[in-house]
Structures are given as structure tokens and as C-alpha cells.
Amino acid sequence: MRQEPRQVLRTVKSRARANAFTYAPHAFRSLVESSIYEDDVKRAFSTASLLEARTDLADGTHYVLLGFGMDEEPLVLVCRLGRRLVEIVELYRN
């Protein structure tokens, strides 16, 4: 279900504060290989703005967020909203 931009940000940020997020395997590999820490991800969620919503018939709606890690470097999070969790399907430094 696709939500309005403000609602998406509210939902994502509240779930991130509650640690209700998970990583897709590809995103977890990127996290480890790029030396991005979970604190960077949490801060990126808290400072995030919504760049775009992508809709794919096979995978549903993904939200592209731009936030900042602990080092103030831009971090892009591509997320999918589940019923109770936010799944990070891709993340990278911008």
C-alpha cells in the first residue's frame, strides 16, 4: 500500500526509533563491504527526506530516502514498508 510522503517519513522514522527494521541480504552485504555502521543507518533514518517512491509490479513500492550518517556523509536508503517492519533493500553512500 502506497502512502503519502509525510506519512511515509513518519512511519519509517518511528519504526527506526523502535529498531523495527531489517536488511535484505544485498543491503546487508553493502553495509559490511562499505563499512557503514548501524548507527549510521539509524541516524540516516532520523535525518531522512523522501527523494522518490518507486513502484514495481513484482516487488511493490520502494521508498528512496536520503539521510546523513554519523560522519555527516549522505547515505541513501531504499526501503520497503511491511506491516511491522521497514526492510532496507539497498543502501549506499551518495
Tens digit of each residue's pLDDT (9 = 90 or more) over 68-91: 999 999 999 999 999 899 999 999
Query: In Å, how far from its chain's centre is CA 87?
Result: 7
The one-digit pLDDT tens for each residue of the chain (94 residues) are 456 878 989 999 999 999 999 999 999 999 999 999 999 999 999 999 999 999 887 788 899 999 999 999 999 999 999 989 999 999 999 8
Q: pTM for the whole thing?
A: 0.89
Q: Which of 40, 22, 56 is nearest to 93 (CA)?
A: 40
Cβ-based neighbour number of residue 56 at 10 Å: 9
User: Going by DSSP bridges, is the β-strand pair 86-93/21-23 parallel, antiparallel, or unpaired?
Assistant: parallel
The total of structural domains in the chain comes to: 1
- Domain of residue 81, CATH code: 3.30.2310.40
Which grid coordinates are listed for 20?
Answer: 523495527
Range of the domain at 66: 5-93
